């Protein structure tokens, strides 16, 4: 089987899996969570007791000499943008998939949910520069192209600048959109741009991680390769002081990131390679619906 056939098979597998998950109820949760841009005028009808008097159509009321109110319907169609980190650290995976292949699955599931609700879907990928922009469109073919690009596109950069991606979103899309920022967030100094994007758009962060980033086996000296810096560093897993220091730094970074997301009022979905991710997606939609009900 040549590379082209392998590519088609992988994309087809993701498509089948995504559609199965979407059809199992995720599309309905998506629809309930994202309400569209607002309400649009539909028609008028006679006023009934209990109607909101602010919706009275005074022109029609004057013409018919009795009160009529405006009837509105939800303006359903939205624009959904996937802002994808394609830096070298996303190529890491210690189990049976890389962080990037997991990202492709998550994007596929959410994108198929979006088009099932008649939304337009687009993508912007970045490293420390803008790598690719796919304009929002409807339809399955657009999503299949996105999956193909995520799996096989070769970015020019290797490092990460989340600020570059966020600034591009704000410059390119002026109207409010739902933005899923998919990254492992191995970056700093982007809090200002995160806040600004969250104010302009409905921003959701999808944090992709790998178990080996959180735990180190006790097997003595271990070489770690940093793909973004192109350097190898060594950790002695039997050195308790070194391991304590290592875990302390990871915990500190995680805590600071959580504080930043909270201060920016950004929702977060945490997903790890090798895990079943539907519970995290379901929990996210449930939390969003609860916030909507509470106002």
Residues whose CB is less than 8 angstroms from the CB of residue 47 and which lie 6 or more positions away in sequence, other chains included = 56, 61, 66, 67, 68, 69
Can you tell me the distance from the alpha carbon of 238 to that of 41, in angstroms, rounded to the nearest whole number?
Answer: 68
Can you tell me the distance from the alpha carbon of 272 to that of 204, in angstroms, rounded to the nearest whole number?
Answer: 17
- Chain centroid to CA 99: how far? 14
What pLDDT score was predicted for residue 127?
A: 96
Can you tell me the distance from the alpha carbon of 56 to that of 60, in angstroms, rounded to the nearest whole number?
Answer: 9
The ranges of the chain annotated as CATH 3.40.50.410 are 3-22+77-214+263-283
**Domain 3-22+77-214+263-283: assigned CATH number:** 3.40.50.410
Q: Per residue of the chain (295 residues), what is the pLDDT tens digit?
A: 566 777 788 888 888 889 888 888 788 888 778 765 555 555 788 888 777 888 888 888 898 889 988 876 555 578 999 999 999 989 888 778 899 999 999 999 999 999 988 899 999 999 999 999 999 999 999 999 999 999 888 999 889 999 999 999 999 998 889 999 999 999 999 999 999 999 999 999 999 998 877 766 665 666 565 666 666 666 666 767 877 777 788 888 889 999 999 999 999 999 999 888 999 998 998 888 776 555 5
What pLDDT score was predicted for residue 82?
A: 97
Residues whose CB is less than 8 angstroms from the CB of residue 31 and which lie 6 or more positions away in sequence, other chains included = 117
> Do residues 155 and 130 touch, judged by C-beta distance below 8 A?
no
What pLDDT score was predicted for residue 242?
A: 73
CA dihedral of residues 11, 147, 106, 250 (deg, nearest 10): 110
Q: If DSSP codes are grouped into helix, strand and coil, which group holds residue 35?
A: coil
What pLDDT score was predicted for residue 223?
A: 56
Q: Dig out the tokens for 188 from the structure.
A: 């700093």
């Amino acid at each position: 089987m040549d590379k082209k056939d392998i590519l088609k098979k992988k994309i087809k597998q993701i498509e089948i899996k995504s559609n199965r998950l979407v059809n199992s109820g995720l599309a309905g949760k998506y629809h309930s969570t994202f309400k569209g841009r607002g309400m649009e005028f539909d028609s008028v009808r006679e006023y009934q007791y209990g109607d909101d008097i602010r919706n009275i159509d005074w022109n029609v009321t004057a013409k018919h000499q009795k009160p009529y109110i405006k009837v509105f319907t939800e303006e359903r169609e939205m624009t959904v943008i996937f802002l994808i980190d394609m830096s070298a650290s996303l190529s890491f995976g210690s189990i049976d998939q890389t962080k990037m292949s997991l990202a492709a699955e998550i994007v596929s599931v959410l994108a198929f949910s979006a088009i099932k609700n008649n939304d337009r879907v687009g993508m912007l990928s970045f490293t420390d520069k803008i790598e690719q922009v796919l304009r929002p469109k409807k339809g399955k073919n657009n999503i299949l192209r996105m999956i193909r690009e995520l799996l096989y596109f070769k970015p020019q950069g290797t490092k990460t600048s989340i600020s570059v991606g966020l600034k591009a979103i704000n410059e390119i899309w002026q109207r409010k959109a739902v933005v899923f920022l998919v990254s492992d967030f191995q970056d700093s100094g982007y809090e200002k741009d995160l806040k600004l994007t969250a104010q302009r758009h409905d921003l959701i962060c999808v944090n992709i991680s790998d178990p080996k980033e959180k735990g180190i086996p006790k097997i003595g000296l271990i070489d770690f390769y940093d793909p973004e810096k192109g350097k190898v560093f060594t950790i002695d897993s039997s050195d308790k002081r070194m391991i304590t220091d290592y875990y302390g730094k990871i915990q500190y970074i995680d805590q600071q990131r959580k504080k930043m997301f909270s201060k920016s009022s950004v929702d977060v979905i945490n997903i790890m390679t090798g895990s079943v991710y539907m519970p995290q997606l379901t929990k996210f939609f449930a939390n969003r619906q609860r916030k909507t009900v509470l106002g």
